[in-house]
Amino acid sequence: MNSIKNILNESMQQLGMIDSLSIETVGAAMGVAFLCSVLIYLVYRYFYTGVSYSAKFGMLLIMLTMVTAFIILCISTNLVLSLGMVGALSIVRFRAAVKEPLDVGFLFFAIAAGLTAGARLYVVAVSGTIIINLIFILCYLAINKNSAYLLVIRHTQEALEELEAALEGRHLKLKSKIRNGDISEETYALSLKSDSEELVDMLSSINGVENVVLVQYHQEA
């Protein structure tokens, strides 16, 4: 009976005991978290496809990774502290709207990197960050082989036949068509690789074409 009581007492004491964290351990965990956050930020910054890039969100990814690692370092040394930390964090509410769905994925990505770095799983943190970044880049390149554009042409009726011949063979999708007397304006959706300037110059040189506008946009497939 006494042996069972002693075992329980020792277990409770161990659960409440705070393990010592050396400066080297803290520095290594925060350094790995910073390295992972920079890799995540660079991929997000370079492959961002939204309407307007927010530099503050990029800074948030770095801060979120390091703050998460900092919290995990604290709560991993003490079970009682971890329970209290969970209760304290449960009252936090975030009301900022996330405009791009992909941003949510990068937020969870940063949190996961911070969790593994704070848990001192350095190999998992770095290798996981690199692998996920590579998979994201491959998926991005596979989906965005060609850039999506909107082509707006304003022309007279005399240029119609020559325009049709110039656009023959291109995969165009008519979005809208407006006609006012002898003037017509068509809007097409198309995909281009790198000859966007050549296309605009060619169409603009046709007699009867008054205006050619080519606008790149983010295509949601």
Q: What is the pLDDT of residues 139-159, one digit of tens each?
A: 888 776 656 778 888 888 888
pTM: 0.64
- Asked if 149 and 189 count as a contact pair (C-beta separation under 8 A), the reply is yes
For residue 212, what pLDDT is reported?
Answer: 84
Taking only the tens place, the pLDDT of each residue in 117-141 is 988 899 999 999 999 999 999 988 8
Residue 221: pLDDT above 50? no
Half-sphere exposure of 82 (CA within 13 A, CB side): 13
For residue 58, what pLDDT is reported?
Answer: 87
Taking only the tens place, the pLDDT of each residue in 168-205 is 777 788 888 888 878 888 888 877 766 667 777 788 88
Rounded-to-integer distance, Cα 4 and Cα 100, Å:
56
According to CATH, the superfamily of the domain at 147-217 is ACT domain (3.30.70.260)
Instruction: Tell which wins on pLDDT, 12 or 63.
Output: 63
For residue 103, what pLDDT is reported?
Answer: 85
**Hey, what are 181's tokens?**
């007397």
Average pLDDT of span 21-47: 90
For residue 98, what pLDDT is reported?
Answer: 67
Task: Indicate the domain borders of the chain.
Answer: 2-143, 147-217
Instruction: Tell which wins on pLDDT, 75 or 220.
Output: 75
**Hey, what are 200's tokens?**
């605009």
Residue 40: pLDDT above 60? yes
Which band of pLDDT confidence, cut at 50, 70 and 90, is reported for residue 7? low
Taking only the tens place, the pLDDT of each residue in 41-97 is 999 998 887 667 778 888 989 999 999 898 888 777 665 565 556 555 555 555 666
For residue 135, what pLDDT is reported?
Answer: 94
For residue 16, what pLDDT is reported?
Answer: 45
Rounded-to-integer distance, Cα 128 and Cα 115, Å:
12
Q: Is residue 68 packed enough to be buried (19+ CB in 10 Å), middle (13-18) or exposed (0-12)?
A: buried
